[in-house]
Amino acid sequence: MLFNSWQFAVFLPVVFALFWALPKHLRPLVLLCSGYVYFAFGGLRYTVLLAFITLVSYVSAALIEKNREKAGTVLLISLVLNFGILFIYKYFNFFSVSLSSLFGRQGLTLDLLLPAGISFFTFSTASYMIDVYRGKLRAERSLVNYAAYVAYFPKLLAGPIERAEPFLAQLKEAKDFDEKQAMYGVRLIVWGLFKKMVIADTLAKYVNLVYADVHGFAGGTLFAAAFFYTVQIYCDFSGYSDIAMGVSDLFGIRLADNFRNPYMAQSIQGFWRRWHISLSSWFRDYIYIPLGGSRKGELRTALNTMIVFLVSGLWHGANWTFILWGLIHGLAQVIERKLGIGRKESDRFLGRWGRRLLVFAFALLTWIFFRADSISDALYVVTHLFSGIASPIRYLRTAYAQLGIDSYTVLCLPYMFLVLFIFEVKAVKKDPVAAVGEMGRVKQFIFCLLFVLMFIMVLPVRSSNEFLYFKF
């Protein structure tokens, strides 16, 4: 069930009404049931998988807390089972085919459809068990509360990867309805839908057209597709996170912020402190720091960084393109650390906007590997991006013609990019979504009217797509 579907437009008000109408002690049950109904839209059989992973982690955490002598063994078994399921569904075919091709044999493959959200809820349950093992969190006594945490529908399919402690604390608090928080949530939902439906979906059809056959397009077209995808993936994924946080605000539960204007970062390290924050912090707390972090010398720090980004690449998908994408980002961070980029003494280098432009350019180039179907396709795009740019007018005209952009879309695209750019710049210092709520009623009405008009404007040119991170 997509956030931008009519089914969700019916589902959400029903759950919202039930949640606030029923007694406080029944609200976790409402969230639990609604989570399974929501998940069932992606395949009823996968609800059994979700229930199994939930039950295993719930029981394991209780055993870990109860018997500290065997806690390590219980944690190891439960993590192997937890990640083993993820491996079978997401990585078995990739490793089987890769190893078999290495030895010149036919690989065994399993005909399994990847359940949406499995990478997200397996990481959530793993972090819960590890936190209980470390003594940072007590094992949750209520199975309903814990199951509601795992199956909480706003974050279930594409995050953020919420930690158990803050979520369960808010769930148990059972607050009264907060109109201010709910209205903020509504505005956040509208902004998220704008980024997804107006910007990301409009750009998607051009990106998909080019990456379906990169060898059939000229340099200007390849550059346009790379630029469009850089904007598309941000608007698609951050749009989902905005909607998820906005929906959660309707239930009085504040989810962790997952994006903080990543393209406004002035270093690659800064980019990863702003992009998919819940995943980055997960890798930091459960892989990077346990490996030694930056405490064991320069070489070990570099190795730990590369390991984290290798795993990050694999987390995003079972393809060599994702692995290479992760390694490039890891190497960039190692180089930045060595050169001292991002520290105060380097702040004058190129100026604020110069550094931001470099980060955006780096992101654009590396997203090519992320989006391409193969490494060879990605290398072709990278090496042909500027083919023909010596004749800039022809370079642009060819892109315009090959993409099939009509005159109406030409008017819409700059408008969308300008709105996004203004929002991102403003958000560096102040949350624009909160600022709208501080406006007078007349200004709010005019602002909302402009947004409605923008939605209407792009209806003829947009395509409907599922959220990109459902695949991861």
Q: What is the DSSP annotation of 274-293?
A: TSSHHHHHHHIIIIITTTTT
End residue of a domain, out of 174, 205, 239: 174
Q: 217, 229, 202: which is closest to 399 by C-alpha?
A: 217
Above 90 in pLDDT, residue 273?
Answer: yes
Same-domain status, 194 and 94: no
Task: Tell me which residue range forms the domain holding 242.
Answer: 181-266+347-471
End residue of a domain, out of 174, 198, 227: 174
Query: What's the whole-number mean pLDDT along residues 22-41?
Result: 92
Domain for residue 380, yes or no?
Answer: yes
Band of pLDDT at residue 293, cut at 50, 70 and 90: confident
Above 70 in pLDDT, residue 345?
Answer: no
d(CA 174, CA 15): 16
Domain for residue 71, yes or no?
Answer: yes
Tokens of 348: 């004058």
d(CA 109, CA 96): 7
Amino acid at 66: K
Residue 361, pLDDT score: 95
Domain for residue 361, yes or no?
Answer: yes
Above 90 in pLDDT, residue 247?
Answer: yes
Band of pLDDT at residue 349, cut at 50, 70 and 90: low
Cis peptide before 160 (omega within 30 of 0): yes
Same-domain status, 107 and 202: no
Tokens of 40: 């069932």
298: three-class secondary structure by DSSP:
helix
Q: What percent of the chain has pLDDT over 90?
A: 55
d(CA 73, CA 349): 51
Above 60 in pLDDT, residue 262?
Answer: yes
Above 60 in pLDDT, residue 8?
Answer: yes
Query: What's the whole-number mean pLDDT along residues 191-215?
Result: 91
Most confident segment among 6-10, 277-281, 339-343: 277-281
Alpha helices in 317-374 (DSSP H): 320-339, 351-371
Band of pLDDT at residue 113, cut at 50, 70 and 90: confident
Above 70 in pLDDT, residue 119?
Answer: yes
Residue 271 has a CB neighbour count (10 Å cut-off) of: 22
d(CA 312, CA 332): 14
d(CA 465, CA 377): 23
The per-residue pLDDT for range 383-438, each reduced to its tens digit, is 999 998 989 999 999 988 999 888 778 878 888 888 899 889 988 888 888 887 77
Above 90 in pLDDT, residue 100?
Answer: no
Same-domain status, 12 and 82: yes
Same-domain status, 201 and 250: yes
Same-domain status, 112 and 226: no
Task: Give the residue numbers marked as catalytic.
Answer: 316
DSSP string for 153-211: HHHHTT-----HHHHHHHHHH-PPP-HHHHHHHHHHHHHHHIIIIIIIHHHHHHHHHHH
Query: What's the whole-number mean pLDDT along residues 245-268?
Result: 93
Q: Is 410 left (phi over 0), alpha (psi -120 to 50) or beta?
A: alpha
Domain for residue 310, yes or no?
Answer: no
Query: What's the whole-number mean pLDDT along residues 23-48?
Result: 90
**20, 136 in Cβ contact below 8 A?**
no
Give Cα 183 to chain centroid, integer Å: 24
Give Cα 294 to chain centroid, integer Å: 26
455: three-class secondary structure by DSSP:
helix
Place of tokens 């010596």: 390
Residue 352, pLDDT score: 83
Counting the structural domains of the chain, the total is: 2
**28, 145 in Cβ contact below 8 A?**
yes
Domain for residue 157, yes or no?
Answer: yes
Same-domain status, 185 and 158: no
d(CA 293, CA 299): 11
Choice between 436 and 20, residue whose per-residue pLDDT is larger: 20
Same-domain status, 188 and 132: no
- Please give the C-alpha separations between residue 292 and each of 9, 308, 334, 387, in angstroms, as whole numbers: 47, 12, 15, 45
**30, 19 in Cβ contact below 8 A?**
yes
Band of pLDDT at residue 459, cut at 50, 70 and 90: low
d(CA 296, CA 330): 18
Overall pTM surpassing 0.85 (yes/no)? yes
The CA dihedral of 255, 259, 261, 263, to the nearest 10 degrees, is 180
Same-domain status, 65 and 150: yes
Domain for residue 190, yes or no?
Answer: yes
Residue 472, pLDDT score: 59
Tokens of 165: 């402690």
Same-domain status, 448 and 433: yes
End residue of a domain, out of 148, 174, 200: 174
**379, 432 in Cβ contact below 8 A?**
no
Residue 455, pLDDT score: 67
Domain for residue 237, yes or no?
Answer: yes
The mean of the pLDDT values for the chain is: 88
Same-domain status, 158 and 61: yes
Query: What's the whole-number mean pLDDT along residues 207-214?
Result: 93
Residue 104, pLDDT score: 66
Residue 461, pLDDT score: 55
Residue 457, pLDDT score: 66
Place of tokens 């939902």: 189
Choice between 80 and 93, residue whose per-residue pLDDT is larger: 80
386: three-class secondary structure by DSSP:
coil
d(CA 54, CA 150): 7
Query: What's the whole-number mean pLDDT along residues 87-107?
Result: 77
d(CA 355, CA 374): 30
Band of pLDDT at residue 347, cut at 50, 70 and 90: low
Domain for residue 324, yes or no?
Answer: no
Query: What's the whole-number mean pLDDT along residues 164-170?
Result: 93
Same-domain status, 167 and 32: yes
The per-residue pLDDT for range 300-336, each reduced to its tens digit, is 999 999 999 999 999 988 889 999 999 999 999 999 8
C-alpha distance across the termini of the chain, in Å: 16
**109, 96 in Cβ contact below 8 A?**
yes
Same-domain status, 405 and 387: yes
Residue 101, pLDDT score: 72
Band of pLDDT at residue 341, cut at 50, 70 and 90: confident
Query: What's the whole-number mean pLDDT along residues 277-305?
Result: 91
Query: What's the whole-number mean pLDDT along residues 35-44?
Result: 87
With 0-12 CB in 10 A as exposed, 13-18 as middle and 19+ as buried, what is 91? Answer: middle
d(CA 88, CA 151): 21
